[in-house]
Amino acid sequence: MAKSRRIREIDCLGTAVAGIRMVLTARLDEMCELRQSALDFKDPEGVHSMRVASRRLRSALHDFKPYVNKGGLAATLKQIRSIADALGEVRDEDVAILALETVASHSAAQMKGPLQAIIESRKEARRTARQQLRKIIVKKRMSQLALDFDKAITTATNAPEQNNTLSYVNMAREIIRDRLDELESLSNGLYKPLDEEPLHEMRIAAKRLRYAIELFQECWSSGLEGFAKSAAGVQSALGNLHDCDVWITSFGKEIVKSKESKELDQSEAFVFLLSHFLRVRNRHLREAFSQWKAWETEGLGLKLRELIKS
């Protein structure tokens, strides 16, 4: 996965508006430059890198909402979301296929045939998703998006009511604090381990905090990298947990369908997968608990708030 591009030209003491323009332009460029890699389906990392770049762009847009004219970005936001969704469809199948192939490689001989049939159905879904992705990120469309986005940024940051006195670094402080407050408020989701939605929301909050720290780290001489790494650990554990939740729900539905259609071999395969990923889910849940306990034990929230004061 490509690392996020550090925007070293940012003037942290300059206006927030100027910084917003620079960040959004850089983040869109970063995403568009990964287009060719995403279309090289021999290496799944290409799709993953472009998807993460699209997430960083959308996270920045989310962070900047209170500081811009939201209406100016509405049209391009829809296009960016469609790109992110198309990338997500392919990436989700890549991850699922890899997980299923790993399970199949260690399964009993009688399970390999039914499991391979399930894998092939996921590969067919991935082929369809790849075809859709090709249409969504065709070169001409991406070039037009870049032009439209440039105009949208100008409109969004030139509103009459725009606050032109707020500095970029003060905006950065506000955003990091907001993202940290959001993550901490959602952390109680860990104590409802069977409720998927709060855990999913906590994962998104951890991701947004991580991206905000990475984005604004240029405004502090040192010390922020460790907080981003810790947030990434929480995000990763909860992300793996979310993957399991999606698959478990899917396998449950497939068991019912295969039983109704008397496909006993397929039913057994899905029961096997359901049982396996329930165990894996518990492992990822324990890891998420461990990551968050370390965050709280080390007082990282308080330390981050203190660090960004200066």
pLDDT score of 165 = 83
Task: Give the global pTM.
Answer: 0.92
Q: What is the band of 157 on the pLDDT scale with cuts at 50, 70, 90?
A: confident
Segment 76-91, tens digit of pLDDT: 999 999 999 999 999 9
User: Quick check: 176 and 64 in contact, CB under 8 A?
Assistant: no
Q: How far apart are CA 82 and CA 199, in angstroms?
A: 24
Query: 3-state class of 167 per DSSP?
Result: strand
Q: What is the band of 4 on the pLDDT scale with cuts at 50, 70, 90?
A: confident
Q: How far apart are CA 101 and CA 21, in angstroms?
A: 44
Q: What is the band of 122 on the pLDDT scale with cuts at 50, 70, 90?
A: very high
Long-range contacts of range 287-294, CB-CB < 8 Å, 24 or more positions apart? 287/237, 287/240, 288/190, 288/199, 288/234, 288/237, 288/238, 288/241, 289/190, 290/237, 291/230, 291/233, 291/234, 291/237, 292/187, 292/190, 292/234, 294/230, 294/233
CB atoms within 10 A of CB 152: 22
User: Quick check: 190 and 202 in contact, CB under 8 A?
Assistant: yes
Domains of the chain: 14-157 (1.40.20.10), 166-310 (1.20.1260)
Q: Which of 21-25, 30-34, 70-74, 226-230 has the lowest mean pLDDT?
A: 70-74
Query: 3-state class of 15 per DSSP?
Result: strand
